[in-house]
């Protein structure tokens, strides 16, 4: 499978969200917010964009698949460029009320920021994602290896 990415039509046209240039987080910044990264934790990789971008959403599920295992998800997304990281997802959470079309997706999807992977002190790996917390988007972390289903989207740049 050369390029498994399928772009979805959510948040396009007038609903497109422009995100400014944002620096990648440091390990110290992440550790100050997420205690589970602390002891001997690390940033395994961060290829997230640092320039201004437009949010696109996509999936790596084939049309006939309802879900795939985390290892397959990791393999398929590896060839996808422009994957958002922590800084873009945190920016979206802080400004979610400015984007009604983005808020309208709250009950339908979760949004993965697989451009960064951090390592827990026990060796487990995680990436950030956006999910519903009552009536708002919130940023959480999910362990690499979890199942991907039809409701997951990859957050991607337009570059």
> Tens digits of per-residue pLDDT, 42-71?
999 999 999 999 999 999 999 899 999 988
pLDDT at 2: 56
How far apart are the C-alpha atoms of 100 and 105, rounded to whole Å? 9
**Antiparallel, parallel or unpaired: β 110-112 and 152-156:** parallel
pLDDT: which is higher, 37 or 103? 103
| pLDDT class of 147 with cuts at 50, 70, 90 | confident
- The answer to whether residue 50 sits within a structural domain is yes
Given a cut of 60, whether residue 1 has pLDDT beyond it is: no
pLDDT tens digit string along 68-94?
Answer: 998 899 999 888 999 999 999 999 999
- The answer to whether residue 22 sits within a structural domain is yes
* Residue in 60, 46, 39, 27 with CA at minimum distance from that of residue 124: 39
Question: Length of the chain in residues, anyone?
Answer: 159
Question: Containing domain of residue 87, as a range?
Answer: 6-156
- The answer to whether residue 29 sits within a structural domain is yes
pLDDT at 107: 94
- Provide the number of structural domains found in the chain: 1
Quote the tokens at residue 98: 């400015």
- The answer to whether residue 1 sits within a structural domain is no
Query: Which residues share a beta bridge with 154?
Result: 58, 112
pLDDT at 22: 98
In sign, the C-alpha dihedral spanning 124, 126, 132, 138 is: positive
- The answer to whether residue 30 sits within a structural domain is yes
pLDDT at 3: 61
């Amino acid at each position: 499978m050369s390029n498994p990415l399928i772009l979805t039509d959510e948040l396009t046209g007038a609903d497109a969200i422009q995100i400014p240039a944002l620096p990648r987080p440091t390990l110290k910044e992440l550790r100050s917010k997420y205690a589970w990264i602390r002891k001997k934790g690390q940033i395994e990789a961060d290829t997230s964009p640092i320039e201004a971008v437009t949010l696109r959403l996509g999936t790596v599920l084939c049309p006939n698949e309802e879900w795939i295992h985390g290892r397959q998800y990791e393999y398929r997304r590896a060839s996808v460029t422009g994957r958002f990281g922590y800084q873009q997802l945190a920016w979206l959470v802080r400004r979610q009320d400015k984007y009604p079309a983005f808020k309208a997706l709250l009950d339908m999807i979760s949004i993965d920021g697989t451009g960064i992977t951090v390592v827990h002190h026990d060796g487990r790996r995680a990436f950030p994602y956006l999910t519903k917390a009552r009536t708002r988007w919130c940023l959480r972390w999910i362990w690499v290896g979890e199942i991907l289903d039809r409701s997951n989207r990859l957050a991607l740049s337009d570059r």
